[in-house]
Amino acid sequence: MAKAKKKIVIFFPCVGRRVVLLEMFRRACARLGCRSILVGADVTEQSAALQCCDRKYVAKPVTHRQYRKEILDIIRREKVDIVVPTVDLDLPIWAALREPLTKMDCTALISSPEAVRICQDKRRMYRFLQEHGFDTPATMSAAQARKLKRYTFPYFLKPWDGYASRGSYIARTPDELKFFSRHVPNCIVQEYIEGVEHTVDVLVDFAGRVRCVVPRRRLQVRSGEVSKGITVKHPEIMERSKELIETLGAGPGVITIQCFLTEKNEIKFIEINPRFGGGVPLAIQAGADFSRWLLQLWLGKKPRITFDGWRDQLLMLRYDDAVWVQK
């Protein structure tokens, strides 16, 4: 890690709508006495967060064969210090680039390729959770579900490689199960869990140690992203989340876990996203200053991080804002 820096260049690929996350990194740099240069890329110039970056790039889609070359060119041109991935689509690319980026004196907040593969394949995630003793909804293939002799409705159907709740359905009858299981691409069928959904933000340092865990109860979700949430100091969720991330070996950066807390106080883990979640500004505002702590760690400093040193019961009510661009 760098020992002294007057300027930190941070790259946000697929920056989208992450305006608040950008501002939190900008503010963190200022508090550390460093000048920030925030570099953003997106597939369109009409991206709100892209307008808030110091340097802007309209990039090819993640699926384009030239995407990898293009982002590496941006990193070289801008002399990027840190990469902050923000969406699921390009995580495998960044995971594969971890070592090449190190040789370019650039650090990506990304987990290993194997950890990313497990997180992005819900079949692998189910096996991983089961094998390591973490409670999770029973999961089967669509073909297995259609062959069941006895049903326990409802079931939750979704693509094993899906994200942001896209292509997810609830089947409450045999006909619905048959229909959705044939029409959802790469379909898996899960036991439906009744309970309170939580998102858990987990800070992992550059040595792979979990340093802070913040559960957030999801009160309202829009397009797969929390719009209303509240921080909850639940010791068991915090401890089990720490154990889960350490077992997976994810990090560095902020890792986002989804889980349900049932009426019987069972913690049912659903999935892991090895990146900053959309609702992470709530955890940061509550005092878990992930952006500043990660920059301090990267600079070789020793920030004062406490595992539960953040405010309980802080409510976030998100709303739409606007960015004005004169054409």
Q: For the segment 261-311, what is each residue's pLDDT rounded down to a tens digit?
A: 999 999 999 999 999 999 999 999 999 999 999 999 999 999 999 999 999
Contacts of 233 (CB under 8 A, 6+ apart): 215, 308, 312
Q: Where are the domains of the chain?
A: 7-110, 116-121+195-317, 138-191
Closest CA to 298 of 28, 60, 67, 15: 28
Q: Which CATH superfamily is domain 138-191 in?
A: ATP-grasp fold, A domain (3.30.1490.20)
Topology, domain 116-121+195-317? D-amino Acid Aminotransferase; Chain A, domain 1 (3.30.470)
Quote the pLDDT of residue 165.
Answer: 67
The pLDDT of residue 1 is above 70: no
Whether pTM > 0.75 for this model: the answer is yes
Q: Are 299 and 292 in contact (CB under 8 A)?
A: no
Structure tokens at 119: 């997180």
The pLDDT of residue 4 is above 90: no
Cα–Cα dist 198/294, whole Å: 23
**Residue 153 burial (CB count, 10 A):** 12
71 burial via Cβ count (<10 Å: 0-12, 13-18, 19+):
buried
Out of 19-23, 218-222, 280-284, pick the least confident: 218-222
CATH of 7-110, one of 3.40.50.740, 3.40.50.1220, 3.90.1150.10, 3.40.50.20: 3.40.50.20
